[in-house]
Structure 1
Amino acid sequence: MTRLDTPIDSVSIEIGADTRAFRLELANTERLARGFATTLGDAFTGVAVKGRDVGDVVAGIGQRLSALALNLALRPVEEGMAGLFSSLLGTTGFAQGGIVADGVRPFAKGGVVAAPTYFPLPGGTGLMGEAGAEAILPLARGADGALGVRTAGAGGRTSVVVNVATPDPSAFRRSDAYLSGLVARAVARGQRGA
């Protein structure tokens, strides 16, 4: 029996899925259910407390439910028209400060993209996360003006160990202040990011 013929007791498979659209539809369903419950509650309150006519209340419920159904049915048409105008005008639905209005996930402090995700570029569309998880790291300018990734937690206590091996200890003692100054300046430059 070869290794390929050996029976397998268990298999573990990790599956990653983008569930944003499902969560959005679930939130819409919850909102509609709350609206329906509120409508029924208002109707029964109108009959029991305010003494309204049952026929008027039922007609009102029918009108409200019709309005909810119409809004739900027209939503794809509205989204399609918005997409059409967006593509015709070359815009992507910008909100305040040039941020896309729907589905915004801010990454100003960094983050991870775990699934393939499209993003807008000036000349088209980009794709990230297509080969696995990708990190988004915020950039910062150093003291010398260079643009790069800033390390988190910088600026704490710095410990520097300098080992000196010399055949002339008295010469080292004479240059102790000079060497201490060199090390202190190097540490200060490192803390500034230079």
Structure 2
Amino acid sequence: MSKVQYQEGRTLIESCKYTPQRDEKRWKTWCKVQENGRWCKSLITGNSASIWQHSDQRVFLQDNTDFGLITITIPHLMVNDSGNYRCEIYDSDQNTTDVIRRIYLKVSPVTTWKTTKHSQTTTETPLTTKHFQITTEIPLTNSVIPLNISRLSHSSLFWNSSIIHALEGLIVTKGLVFTALVVLLNRCRGPGKGRSHCELSQKQND
């Protein structure tokens, strides 16, 4: 017995060899052995002229009489396709059936790979969400800084301007007082030497 293994969803392609000169025109059958093992359920029967499909429409049989080769094809394998199969040739003259090949087929599921991929996708979600939250907060913080600097700049300029105007006013006032004193002194002091007119006027009045 031959043992073959396929994954779920794949296509089975197996061959059964016979003697062309003897079995060229005989019926070839692909069947699945039932659980009790007493009989084999026919899935497809055919020869070079015609093909009869029975219970499973997925099964294909090709008979190459030149090489004496039967090719069985089953696409889209499922787990419940696992089991024992036989290639048989029916001799209508003697009403006998010859088994030319026995095959044990095992179809493996592929659910383990799908589960692992799903768990990897789930772990990536929090990282992506955190990244977007950090990105959206940065422009809000930066926009506050220029406003504070702008207010401080206007306030500083206001106080500096007020101090400058006050100093300018003070200097002008001192300049006027100094000028008035110089003019007054020049009036009191007359031409030539001696006492000033202001002193003489004060004594005369006394």
Please classify the TM superposition score into its range, dividing by the shorter chain length: under 0.3
- TM-score normalised by L of structure 2: 0.20
The one of the two structures with greater contact order (alpha-carbon pairs below 8 A, sep at least 6) is 2
Please report the TM-score for the alignment, with normalisation by the length of structure 1.
Answer: 0.21
- Higher strand proportion: 2
